[in-house]
Structure 1
Amino acid sequence: MKFSENWLRQHVPTTATREQLAATLTAIGLEVEEVTALGDSLDGVVVAQILSAEKHPEADRLQVCQVDAGGGNVVQIVCGAPNARPGLKAPLAVVGANLPGGMAIKAAKLRGVESSGMLCSAKELGVDPDASGLLELPSDAPVGAALAGYLGLPDATIEIKLTPNRADCFSVRGIAFDVAAASASQVVAFEPAPVAAGSDARLAIELNAGANAPRYCGRVIEGVDASRPTPAWMAERLRRSGVRPVSLLVDVAQYVMLELGQPMHAFDRDLLQGPVGVRFARPGEAVKLLDGRDVVLDEQFLAITDGDRVVALAGVMGGFDTRVTEATGNVFLEAAHFAPSAIIGRGRKLGLHTDAAHRFERGVDPELPRLAIEYATRLILDAAGGTPGAVVEAALAQHLPDPRPIGLRRARLARVLGMTVADTEVERIFGALGLSVQASDEGWQVTPPSRRFDLAIEEDLIEEVARIHGYDAIPTTLPSGAARLVAPSEARVEEGAARRQLAARDYLEAINYAFVDEQLLAAWGAMDGAVPLANPLSAELGIMRTALLPGLVAALARNAARQQPRVRLFELGNVFAAHGAESPLETRRVAAVACGDVAAEQWSATARAVGFHDLKGDLDSLAALAGATLEYRVSIAAWGHPGRSADVYRVEGDGAAVKLGWIGQLHPRLQRALDLDAEVVAFELDLAPLLARPLPRAAGLSKFPSVRRDLAVVVAESVPWAVIAGSIRAAAGESLRDLVLFDRYQGKGVETGFKSLAMGLILQEESRTLTDRDVEQVVEAVIAALQRDHGAVMRG
């Protein structure tokens, strides 16, 4: 945001110097990027008028001008400016003047012709970078008057850098409130008197976009002389704000936007049929914009219509076909309030970035449109005449923002700031900022004005007090140095230990975005409970991840595509799922992926591709950190290879099993969809239950001998060992100390579709020696359970 220093001082009286003003703006969060002084040394520069201009006898590009310097003083000036012509009023630096660039003006002879002074360009005067010709002054500029006084100099342009939440400071008046609060001043009252209607001219307005366009004001002004020049004071303020004057009607709209913050537009009334409306564009509708480009719209664009014809792109740019020109006689002024969500990104979609869109995207005061219309009407009537009609306003009150009071507790303010701010100072700050304050026993009830979209909660008010009172006024308190030492919990393995264990198993840690592409999650069949982002960084990062594996496998694929045949990655991170909850459920997980050879290339071992059991060994080593016993059951996960994937359970001491996650090889169909050539094995588990560790308890070793009994059974090949082991433990009871599977056989002597399992049962008691009868009872119970539960047959 760039503005004129004098313009700002007109709204807020302050005795601060230019340097102090710039420092104050930066201190309150409106960072000053550049201050450019204008017209600091213009003594001896006056308004002059060229009476005649004749070609120099010795130079083709020079003219000999007779110039009226005021008071009957006519001087001769040799000038090379291409726009020097009789009747032109321009700045004249008389002999003895010193210009801002250090140039001293002396009487001189140019190619044999005397010249007593210099006619100046804007660049030579230091008021504008334009050096293409003489600075042309309005025809009513008083000849002989000091130029500095006529142009309101000296002055300075101040450019500030605004954060996105301070949309109210995209206007001179908005900045004035902050300056007034910081300099213990008050903003000058600004209430333009309503302009009475002088005719019945009007255009009806229709709102058909709901909450996206809840207010629209318009006014017809007839008999305007649009060819009149923009007043010099207005044109100068526009230039010093980085806006080049174009024509009176356009300049008035720009001026009101810069001063009040309300974007406006002027239509040629004679080119409108009415009614004027606001609605979303239909797919394929086209409009020619002011910059001459024809653009095709879709249903996401908010359009201004004349009848059923689109004549402007709401909040972005007006239309070419209904623009005002110097021939315009009747004007339709409009000012509206558009919701930021209806404007944001629309201009960028067409490659446009306009001042209006920049403001509407961040939020414009919904109470400004009528005020802006009245102010712009007065400026137009004063400069170009005309007869105004009544202001026509259409509003959807239910969709307009309703400022609500915010509670600020005195104790909370003191606690956050670390200091006490006097009640009178707090109330002064809020009052100077234009906030309504009502004291209460605990603090204040503060109602922000409609322009302050950024004030919504108590912390916002605390920030206002802090930045206006001054961050440098907040005392610096060193930390006490006392640190509370907390011993790590014995009931949980630290994540660092899990990271080190996986790194020791030859995995590299990866860190992926918590946002993923919706199409990627859909390919995995992992969209259940997915949480879309309201304002994603990009279309490819529009969904919160519901699993770690999609992003981790994508990282593996990128490495594999870059000549890395052996990739082993792991990640510890959060996943998110809504499942009807008010806020997404956040779960910490661990995942690992691997492809290529099981070990790096070497001379002492034959290369072998990594497989399910290799990854299972890595997972078992991770579970061993917490002393966890894992159980693997057949999985039906959509992304898993049938027969080569399993659901992972943790078996508790009481025999209960808690599901942790999944392990296995990716489904070939998914690998093709992800463009993966190598087979990929992976696992993903909930981290908290995996790393939960039972508290160690001291216990003596049994002094009684253990007994081992070996059994061999034949069961169906489809029955997993984990299920058989569960049945054995349940049947054997507390006497079973350990269970070992030491042989698995299929072949001669075993029916096709069956397998032979040989296992050892290790039995022991704490208080006595087991008898043969005790052992036989346990073995009989185990055999009966295997026959009952799994149809097992004992082998001889």
Structure 2
Amino acid sequence: MKISENWLRTWVNPAIDSETLSNQLTMLGLEVDEISPAAKPFTGVVVGEVLTVEQHPDADRLRVTTVNIGTDEILQIVCGAPNVRVGMKAPVATIGAVLPGDFKIKKGKLRGMESQGMLCGASEIDLEDKIDGLLELPDDAPVGVDIREYLQLDDHVIDISITPNRGDCFSIRGIAREVAVINEITMNEPALKTVAATLSDEKSLEVTTAGCPRYLGRLIKNVNTKAATPDWMSQALARSGVRQHSILVDITNYVLMELGQPLHAFDAAKIEGTIHIRQAVANESLILLNDQEVKLADDVMVIADDAQVLAMAGIMGGASSAVSDTTHDIFLESAFFAPLAIAGRARRYGLHTDASQRYERGVDFELPLQAIHRASQLIQELAGGEFGPITTAENLEQLPKRELIGLNQTQVDALLGYHIDEEFIDAALVRLGCQVERLAAGIWSVLPPSHRYDLVIYQDLIEEIARIHGYDNIQISLPVLDVKFAAHADQFELPQLRQTLVDLGYQEAISFSFADEKLEKQLNPEVKPLRLANPISSDLAVMRSSLLSSLIPCVQYNLNRQQSRVRLFEVGLRFDYQNAASINDLKQIPTLAFIAVGSKHAESWHAKAQAIDFFDLKGEVETILAAGRVEATYVRSTRAWLHPGQSAEIMVDGKSIGYLGRLHPNLEDALDLSATWVAELDQSAVLQTYVSSFTELSRFPTVRRDIALLISDKINVSEIQQLIGKTGGEFLGSTWLFDVYKGQGVEQGKRSLAFALLWQHPTRTLEDAEIKTGMDHIIQVLEDTYQATLRAS
């Protein structure tokens, strides 16, 4: 909605500039989309009076005029406007004036005649041209007065975005109320004069729909519909984005913009009999003021007489009853239509009118009487007429009800999270137009005003208190929660473990806890199997000490049946009876084991066959450990059944929780197996309880440095990485090996290892000197510990 700042300031005029006023409105929830000047900047233009007009001797279309601008000097100005005449008043751009577009007025000659300025049309001072020629000013315009001051061109047009819940702000009065509240000043409403009835004539009314709880009308006769709209009204409407029509339409539009109440004037001579406010009969037709013919549905409310439909109630009038230049008598309508009776109807017919926009959101149900008095006052002043009494049809039971709302200080403090004084709350609600009764200290009973449909529950009142107190004053605080959270820790559980292995491409095997004694001894020659007293069969005669005793026969079974790629896992018990003096000392250890034979990936068109290697298996073990939030390191394994160079112990906190690697080649040959990869871990070490935590990510850049070392090939890379991590300082985030080299240029018994080191600070950018200090420390420690040297590039 667009409004004139000058018009607004006639209602409420705080001692603040336009920008501050705009910011206030935005912070009140009435977002200002744009604030623009009513006219572009220009200077040096005053009101002038044309004294003489003579024909230019050398140009048929030019006139030589003399003009009084209120100084001792009378100006000679050459003018080509067709409407220039003696006695008229018009804007005069004097010598040195600068017009919009940086057009400067200089003394000059037109066809040999000197011209000391320029008589201006409307477009030359950034106004709309309504006629071809000069802008004609009223006869009482004071000569010599700056035209910006006279036409109030230093005004601003404020474009405000009104939210759907604030229908009360679709008017100068509504916006003024908000400005008055926030600045704690009084609003200056125009004096409302009631126009007494001089006629007894009136139209009878009949309301047969619940959508119109209140309808007012007034018959006005002998109205001068040809009267000119005064400049102050035209100016106010134009700056509100409303197009000028005739005097009656302009008055109803002016009251609409001023008070927010839609009005409509019917030509009384075109109304037959009683005025009916009713629901449309299905498929009734109406030609609207915009010449659009509509077929009405029965849920559309209409204004009708005894013969025809006159208007779509609350949306648009009909062409058949519209006022015109020949109209003498009018019927002026002012009504309250229920929002739900209007909502959606205009859009259904592709209409969007000022009236429907307001009725859909809710118009003050106490406003129709004030508006009809205000319109009557303006009609009498500007167009004359004889006035009949105001006729009213209403159903008080169907009018909106304003219910009392209970509010207390505790609710305010709890919802806002900070304290606002009782005195401020009380004063703010009163300034908003509420009827406030203080029942006790910090306890109120509040009755919202009739124009505030959105105030229904106590939370609405608290929103208003916060809004008036100022969003910028809302204190930042966390809500107080009187809740004691139970200690909670996440658990990596067996179903998740199984699913992780399935996702890695393994299938679960379920087998007996018994094994073949021969296989047990092949796996571990030192084992002394615990025999069963009554075995199921000879190949299931002992208790298994490793789940591999169960998985290897499953692999053999599948390989013998043309399954070249086998990946199996099992979760179950293995038995430790090495130090068992009796059956009571037997330890049952929950264990995870998995075994893989064949290619890394299943046969496919998009990947070549590739054999599994140690790092594939290690990656799968690390995936399982990561799922359980277990951090492990790896050292070379010495288990007899594993390949001595392709196997490792899995270490957690310095203790082995299992192993991974390839079966010993001799064992593979004995079992008639190709390369077979196995891993076995204690379930209890994998299925850990953990507490999830989050460390805030740094917004600052990382710094990478690379280091290449010549170091003994007997030293484990993991040991080197751990040492780098311990000595690199608290801001060394991660390190990894990215290159290994042995060969020419590297002496026997050594290898070249290249590590990447990544630093990052959580709250600032690291300095080069800090990185250099960390690097120097790492190099020195590596030299001292492992006799490592930097490798020259």
TM-score of the superposed pair, with normalisation by structure 1: 0.58
Counterpart in the other structure of 1:542:
none
Counterpart in the other structure of 2:181:
181
Counterpart in the other structure of 2:404:
405
Q: Is 1:117–2:152 an aligned residue pair?
A: no
Counterpart in the other structure of 2:434:
435
CA contact (8 A) 1:92 1:118 kept: yes
Counterpart in the other structure of 2:346:
347
CA contact (8 A) 1:281 1:302 kept: yes
Counterpart in the other structure of 2:26:
26
Cα distance in structure 2, aligned partners of 1:450 and 1:293: 35
Deviations 1:457-513 (A, max 9, x none): 1111111011111011122236899994664899x999x99x9999999xxxxxxxx
Structure-to-structure mapping, 1:490-639, within 5 angstroms: none
Query: Per-residue deviation at 1:91?
Result: 2.3
Counterpart in the other structure of 1:582:
none
Counterpart in the other structure of 1:467:
467
CA contact (8 A) 2:417 2:479 kept: no
Cα distance in structure 1, aligned partners of 2:52 and 2:500: 90
CA contact (8 A) 2:417 2:478 kept: no
Counterpart in the other structure of 2:245:
246
| Secondary structure of 1:47 counterpart | strand
| Secondary structure of 1:244 counterpart | coil
Q: Structure 1 stretch 244-253 or stretch 107-116: which is displaced more? A: 107-116
The alpha-carbon distance between structure 1 residues 472 and 422, as it changes in their structure 2 partners (threshold 3 A), is same
Counterpart in the other structure of 1:93:
93
CA contact (8 A) 1:42 1:147 kept: no
Query: Per-residue deviation at 1:147?
Result: 3.0
Structure-to-structure mapping, 1:641-652, within 5 angstroms: none
The alpha-carbon distance between structure 1 residues 50 and 24, as it changes in their structure 2 partners (threshold 3 A), is same
Deviations 1:667-710 (A, max 9, x none): xxxxxxxxxxxxxxxxxxxxxxxxxxxxxxxxxxxxxxxxxxxx
CA contact (8 A) 1:185 1:432 kept: no
Structure-to-structure mapping, 1:661-676, within 5 angstroms: none
Paired AA for residue 427 in structure 2: R
Q: Is 1:394–2:425 an aligned residue pair?
A: no
Structure-to-structure mapping, 1:277-316, within 5 angstroms: 277-316=276-315
Paired AA for residue 290 in structure 2: D
Counterpart in the other structure of 1:383:
382
TM-score of the superposed pair, with normalisation by structure 2: 0.58
CA contact (8 A) 1:157 1:240 kept: yes
Paired AA for residue 232 in structure 1: D
Paired AA for residue 377 in structure 2: R
Cα distance in structure 2, aligned partners of 1:265 and 1:501: 78
Paired AA for residue 312 in structure 2: L
Counterpart in the other structure of 2:230:
231
Query: Per-residue deviation at 1:363?
Result: 0.9
Cα distance in structure 1, aligned partners of 2:494 and 2:392: 67
Q: Is 1:333–2:339 an aligned residue pair?
A: no
| Secondary structure of 2:320 counterpart | coil
Size of the aligned set, in residue pairs, is 509
Cα distance in structure 2, aligned partners of 1:455 and 1:503: 57
Paired AA for residue 154 in structure 2: P
CA contact (8 A) 1:276 1:305 kept: yes
Query: Per-residue deviation at 1:331?
Result: 1.9
Structure-to-structure mapping, 1:65-80, within 5 angstroms: 67=67, 69=69, 75-79=75-79
Paired AA for residue 256 in structure 2: M
Counterpart in the other structure of 1:532:
none
Deviations 1:368-407 (A, max 9, x none): 1111000011111111111211111111111101212211
Identity among equivalent pairs (%): 45
Counterpart in the other structure of 1:457:
457
Cα distance in structure 2, aligned partners of 1:430 and 1:308: 50
Paired AA for residue 472 in structure 2: D
Query: Per-residue deviation at 1:198?
Result: 1.1
Cα distance in structure 2, aligned partners of 1:488 and 1:275: 79
CA contact (8 A) 1:101 1:126 kept: no
The alpha-carbon distance between structure 1 residues 500 and 142, as it changes in their structure 2 partners (threshold 3 A), is farther
The alpha-carbon distance between structure 1 residues 291 and 415, as it changes in their structure 2 partners (threshold 3 A), is same
Query: Per-residue deviation at 1:188?
Result: 2.2
Counterpart in the other structure of 1:447:
447
Query: Per-residue deviation at 1:259?
Result: 0.7
Deviations 1:124-159 (A, max 9, x none): 434569897644444554555543443334211111
Query: Per-residue deviation at 1:454?
Result: 0.8
Query: Per-residue deviation at 1:95?
Result: 3.0
The alpha-carbon distance between structure 1 residues 489 and 346, as it changes in their structure 2 partners (threshold 3 A), is farther
Cα distance in structure 1, aligned partners of 2:157 and 2:503: 58
The alpha-carbon distance between structure 1 residues 286 and 152, as it changes in their structure 2 partners (threshold 3 A), is same
Cα distance in structure 2, aligned partners of 1:86 and 1:309: 53
CA contact (8 A) 1:37 1:157 kept: yes
Query: Per-residue deviation at 1:61?
Result: 6.9
Cα distance in structure 1, aligned partners of 2:115 and 2:503: 85
Counterpart in the other structure of 1:13:
13
Counterpart in the other structure of 1:357:
356
| Secondary structure of 1:456 counterpart | coil
Query: Per-residue deviation at 1:311?
Result: 1.1
Cα distance in structure 2, aligned partners of 1:138 and 1:463: 49
Deviations 1:584-640 (A, max 9, x none): xxxxxxxxxxxxxxxxx9999xxxxxxxxxxxxxxxxxxxxxxxxxxxxxxxxxxxx
CA contact (8 A) 1:168 1:451 kept: yes
Paired AA for residue 162 in structure 1: I
Counterpart in the other structure of 1:613:
none
Query: Per-residue deviation at 1:23?
Result: 0.9
Paired AA for residue 270 in structure 2: L
CA contact (8 A) 1:123 1:130 kept: no
CA contact (8 A) 1:96 1:104 kept: yes
Q: Structure 1 stretch 188-197 or stretch 55-64: which is displaced more? A: 55-64
Deviations 1:205-251 (A, max 9, x none): 111112x1111111112122111111111111111111122121111
Paired AA for residue 254 in structure 1: N
The alpha-carbon distance between structure 1 residues 117 and 414, as it changes in their structure 2 partners (threshold 3 A), is same
CA contact (8 A) 2:402 2:448 kept: yes
Cα distance in structure 1, aligned partners of 2:248 and 2:138: 17
The alpha-carbon distance between structure 1 residues 461 and 104, as it changes in their structure 2 partners (threshold 3 A), is same
Counterpart in the other structure of 1:198:
198
Deviations 1:691-744 (A, max 9, x none): xxxxxxxxxxxxxxxxxxxxxxxxxxxxxxxxxxxxxxxxxxxxxxxxxxxxxx
| Secondary structure of 1:94 counterpart | strand
Cα distance in structure 1, aligned partners of 2:190 and 2:134: 36
Cα distance in structure 2, aligned partners of 1:268 and 1:501: 86
Query: Per-residue deviation at 1:161?
Result: 0.9
Query: Per-residue deviation at 1:362?
Result: 0.8
| Secondary structure of 1:440 counterpart | strand
The alpha-carbon distance between structure 1 residues 266 and 92, as it changes in their structure 2 partners (threshold 3 A), is farther
Query: Per-residue deviation at 1:456?
Result: 0.6
CA contact (8 A) 2:194 2:376 kept: no
| Secondary structure of 2:350 counterpart | coil
Paired AA for residue 229 in structure 2: T
Counterpart in the other structure of 2:266:
267
The alpha-carbon distance between structure 1 residues 55 and 30, as it changes in their structure 2 partners (threshold 3 A), is farther
Cα distance in structure 2, aligned partners of 1:153 and 1:493: 80
Deviations 1:89-126 (A, max 9, x none): 43223334444654443333234333322233444434
| Secondary structure of 1:357 counterpart | helix
Q: What is the aligned-residue RMSD (CA, Å)? A: 3.9
Structure-to-structure mapping, 1:650-661, within 5 angstroms: none
Structure-to-structure mapping, 1:702-741, within 5 angstroms: none
Cα distance in structure 1, aligned partners of 2:316 and 2:281: 18
Cα distance in structure 2, aligned partners of 1:68 and 1:502: 100
Cα distance in structure 1, aligned partners of 2:494 and 2:127: 69
Paired AA for residue 323 in structure 2: V
CA contact (8 A) 1:180 1:433 kept: no
Q: Tell me which structure has the larger Cα radius of gyration.
A: 2
